[in-house]
Amino acid sequence: MKLAAAVLLIFTLVAFAAPAIAPYDPRATPQSETQKNLAPTASHPFGTDQFSRDVLSRVIYGARVSLGVATLAVLLALTLGAAVGSLAGYAGGWTDSICMRLVDAMLSVPRVLLLLVLVATTGPLTVPGIILLLGLTGWATTSRLIRAEVRQLKERDFVLASRATGTPEWRVFVTHVLPGIIPQILVSATIALATVIPLEAGLSFLGLGVQPPTASWGNIISDAAERPGDAWWVVLFPGLAIVCTVLAVNTIGERLRIQFDARSAARTARRDPIS
């Protein structure tokens, strides 16, 4: 987990420090023919693309766009998913039924297909539009997970005892239920982030996401889509950035899940020894 956290931290720092560490302007297009599709050299460690732009600089700035879009989209999806799942699980009854039918409707359509249809209908989106699209189509799975966790927590003896003493429902939820679902929210965040990064890259690769000359890892790869063998470096380095980031996030998520499960079992044993 330490290695994965270090990798993710490095990419995050690179994204924040992009203007300071990028060796060239990622949008600069020198007119010299000799600068086009250069293989990696000392002056251009990641080579150049068909427009003579420095690939290293574009990968660095692409981290800012790709990670920023993914993070904000995940925050939106988690907020919606946690709100709907908590409401459904805690309220129960017809509220639960309505929320779950909405979730079922969202999950019945493959997310990639839904994204392609929406983007094809509206045309290429701005960066805020991509964030909204990815966030509004990614909350259903989190909602179902949070609902299941809330339903379990609200039946625990310590929650039932708190409700029996006349404690207001909102206070019972905030005091006893909400802390119990935070670990699930964190794990869901890592799963969602590992999903959204390649989704955004795929949309940008197809020309439906972040639009050039703004760099994202997906549209950098698309610059060499017609001749990937002749300009392998344009595909390799942003591709490695995507793979390394997703692997790091998945590793962190799995480790967090294992730790939270162990802590939850120990906490339940202390607070609810009879069960």
What is the DSSP secondary-structure string of 186-228? Answer: HHHHHHHHHHHHHHHHHHHHTTSSSPTTS--HHHHHHTTTT-T
Mean pLDDT in residue range 225-243:
86
pLDDT digits (tens, 9 = 90+) for 118-128: 887 877 788 89
Domain boundaries, the chain: 55-269
Q: Where is pLDDT greater, at 267 or 121? A: 121
Q: Supply angle C-alpha 265, 269, 273, rounded to 5.
A: 155
| CATH class of this structure's domain 55-269 | mainly alpha
pLDDT in tens, 153-192: 888 888 888 888 888 888 888 888 888 888 888 888 998 9
Note the pLDDT of residue 180.
84
* Residue 266: CB atoms within 10 Å: 10
Greater confidence, 139 or 225?
139
Taking a C-beta distance cutoff of 8 angstroms, is the pair 138, 196 a contact?
Answer: yes
Identify the pLDDT of residue 275: 45
* Span 140-147, average pLDDT: 90
pLDDT at 268 over 80: no
68-96 pLDDT, tens digit per residue, is 999 999 999 999 999 999 999 888 889 98
